[in-house]
Amino acid sequence: MITTLSNRLIARLGALEAKPVWGTAADTILDHVPFRRPIASPDDPHDSVAARAAAIAVLARRDYACGELRLKLASRGFAVEAIEAVMAALRSEGVLNDERFAQNYVAHHAARGQGPLRIRAELRRLELAAGTIEAALEGGPDWHALASKVCRSKFGAQAPTQWSQKARQARFLHYRGFSADHIRAAVGAEPDPD
């Protein structure tokens, strides 16, 4: 946008030939971001030392699940044998641990107000074992209390009086990943026996 405006201004004033702001027309703003490096493919895809270095560099940023790290290394061009060797070594050293990852993931996403159904689906998408997911969710917060807290923070402390308000709050909690039991407890959506 700036380049276009400056080019128009220079052309209208009859100045010398207009020059783009970034040099050539092919340059973009992303080319000038200093920390963005292209992903280089390894010289030897079977080199387990290079695969380990890449895995450690990836794990230095955040914790990863085993399946997620496996896909990350495969996308960088490492062979399956080198990836599996590195993964086994990292698991034996305790650097890579699916149980720890699942517990941290549940704690982080529950603190953001997400419910157990949504967290379970995301952990399943990350290819964690069902037993690991269930153990992490059982060790999580009190889901009924969390649903009530999330509902109060979004809609206020006053309980809904009309069914349309209850339905709106129920839809919100359902989107956040809470079960029907959690939603009924938080919203108080028990039907009146008439």
List the CATH code of the domain at 98-141: 1.10.10
How would residue 191 be classed by pLDDT, with cut points 50, 70 and 90?
A: low
Percent of the chain with pLDDT over 90: 48
CA distances from 61 to 19, 44, 55, 57, 58 (A): 40, 24, 10, 7, 6
Determine the Cα–Cα distance for residues 18 and 54; give it in Å rounded to an integer. 45
Burial tier of 29 (Cβ tally within 10 Å: 0-12, 13-18, 19+): exposed
48 pLDDT exceeds 70? yes
Residue 94 pLDDT exceeds 60: yes
Which residues, at least 6 apart from 110, have a Cβ–Cβ distance to it below 8 Å? 119, 140, 141, 146
> Model's pTM, two decimal places?
0.70
Candidate from 55-69, 121-135, 150-164, 169-183 with smallest mean pLDDT: 150-164
Q: Is the model's pLDDT at 172 over the cut of 60?
A: yes
Architecture of domain 48-96: Orthogonal Bundle (1.10)
Instruction: Return the CATH number of the domain spanning residue range 144-194.
Output: 1.10.10.10
Decide whether 48-96 matches 144-194 in CATH topology: yes
Who wins on pLDDT, 183 or 30?
Answer: 183
Give the domain ranges of the chain.
2-32, 48-96, 98-141, 144-194
Per the model's pLDDT, the better-predicted residue between 15 and 160 turns out to be 160
